[in-house]
Amino acid sequence: MVTRRLRVGVLCGGASAERQISLATGAEIAAGLSADRYDVVLLDPLALMADNPALGAERRALAVRLRGGVAGESLPERDRALPAAIRDSMERAALRLVAATGALGITGAERIDVAFMALHGPWGEDGRLQGLLETLGIPHTGSGVLAAALAMDKTMAKTVLSSAGLTVPRGVEVTRAMRAEAGWRAAVHYPAVVKPVRQGSSLGLSVVPDPDGLEGALEAAFEHDDRVLVEERIIGTEVTCGVIGNDSLQALPLVEIVANGPVFDYQAKYDPSASQEICPARVAPAVAVAAQNAAILAHRALGCRGLSRVDLILREGRPIVLEVNTMPGMTANSLLPKAARVAGLTFPALLDRLVQWALEAG
């Protein structure tokens, strides 16, 4: 009997500012999925968006090229300073990308059996693409529409997390319309962290020691979103906690993050020499358990599935939840796979489980 290998579409690239990081994630997931069991194709949903007026001209032109089967793209300036290994992954993925049009089965072509989600940021991690896949009846790894949308929206996520009893940083959301108003400024606690509401990889994020720096920081954040969060800066030990599973959840060992600068910024996230990531975190066992419990509670409160990575700061041993990522970085050296390895789960084994959970949920 010949059994057909499962056709897995690794969805990567996409339209967000984290496109290149997503390509690196996609390349490594494709490399980590067992070739004996899976028939893997790298699919770019940007190809679906060629006519979407919400995208800039450059993104739409790339979407058109993808639809025409033209591979390859140049790296944005920001990514040229990253280490060679991650740039190689980005370039390798870009050359293998296939437009995610036929493979979704809309035209009846060779439809995938399961979508492995490897997108970061808006249009991929925020529920909109999950909605399309669920409409088409294609199982996908990770969270569904609502959880993905809630987690991507830091303001909404904080509201849900705090009503579940978790502690989140005090903060205020500022819209473009509110920017000229004075009222909200009294609610800002310094030092503050200013960040776009819906963005990842620390893009558009700044630390502001006093009111003088606020305007510049708002400017940088509004480049990424028309809603911005101004939060109190939490001082403590930064950790992140992976949560995996469907109905039964496992919190992975904490990873402690020691960035060279004041925050875990874009460069530090993707350049191993710019931070230390220590797993398990050097904290007392009871503190680690409290943080893991907070991560599971956060994952459940938002209704996540499959996997999430909850970012926290331990202030005097107590967990403060910064945010929940439903599609965390998934290169073999990213935080969640690193923690899984410490828990005895290799990268290929982790990928296998995620595919299995997607099929169960679908």
Ligand X SMILES: Nc1ncnc2c1ncn2[C@@H]1O[C@H](COP(=O)(O)OP(=O)(O)OP(=O)(O)O)[C@@H](O)[C@H]1O
Binding-residue pattern over the window 257 to 296 for ligand X, x denoting contact by CB under 6 A: ------xx----x---------------------------
Span 88-107, contacts to ligand X by CB under 6 A: none
Q: Which residues pair with 195 in a beta bridge?
A: 229
Q: Which residues pair with 117 in a beta bridge?
A: 11
311 binds Mg ion, rule: CB under 5 A: yes
Q: Is 61 helix (H, G, I), strand (E, B) or coil?
A: helix
Q: Is 119 helix (H, G, I), strand (E, B) or coil?
A: coil
Residue 263's binding partner among Mg ion, ligand X, none (Cβ under 5 to 8 angstroms by kind) is ligand X
Among 233, 300, 315, 318, binds ligand X (CB under 6 A): 233
42 binds ligand X, rule: CB under 6 A: no
The token duo for 207 is 């630390």
311 binds ligand X, rule: CB under 6 A: yes
| Start-end of H helices in 46-165 | 57-67, 84-96, 128-136, 145-152, 154-163
Residue 166's binding partner among Mg ion, ligand X, none (Cβ under 5 to 8 angstroms by kind) is none
Task: Report the chain's C-alpha Rg in angstroms.
Answer: 20
Give how many residues touch Mg ion by CB under 5 A: 1
Q: Tokens 């996230």: give the residue.
A: 269
Report the C-alpha gap between 219 and 113 in whole angstroms. 43
Report the C-alpha gap between 189 and 6 in whole angstroms. 52
Burial (CB < 10 A; 0-12, 13-18, 19+), residue 211, is exposed
Closest approach of ligand X to the CB of residue 269, in Å: 6
113 binds Mg ion, rule: CB under 5 A: no
My answer on whether omega of the bond before 169 falls inside 30° of 0, hence cis, is no
Closest approach of ligand X to the CB of residue 350, in Å: 18
Choose one: 2-10, 90-98, 226-234, 280-288; the region binding ligand X (CB under 6 A). 226-234
Span 322-361, contacts to ligand X by CB under 6 A: 322-323, 325
- For residue 317, what is the DSSP state? T
Q: Which residues are designated catalytic?
A: 18, 201, 270, 309, 311, 323, 325, 329
Q: Tokens 């956060």: give the residue.
A: 298
Closest approach of ligand X to the CB of residue 169, in Å: 4
Residue 205's binding partner among Mg ion, ligand X, none (Cβ under 5 to 8 angstroms by kind) is ligand X
Closest approach of Mg ion to the CB of residue 20, in Å: 17
202 binds ligand X, rule: CB under 6 A: yes
The token duo for 318 is 């107590």
Question: How big is the chain, counted in residues?
Answer: 362
As a whole number of Å, the end-to-end CA separation of the chain is 26
Closest approach of Mg ion to the CB of residue 100, in Å: 26
Choose one: 194-202, 271-279, 281-289, 339-347; the region binding ligand X (CB under 6 A). 194-202
Report the C-alpha gap between 204 and 326 in whole angstroms. 20
Q: Which residues are at the interface with ligand X (CB under 6 A)?
A: 169, 193, 195, 199-202, 205, 231, 233-234, 238, 263-264, 269, 311, 313, 322-323, 325
Q: Which residues are at the interface with Mg ion (CB under 5 A)?
A: 311
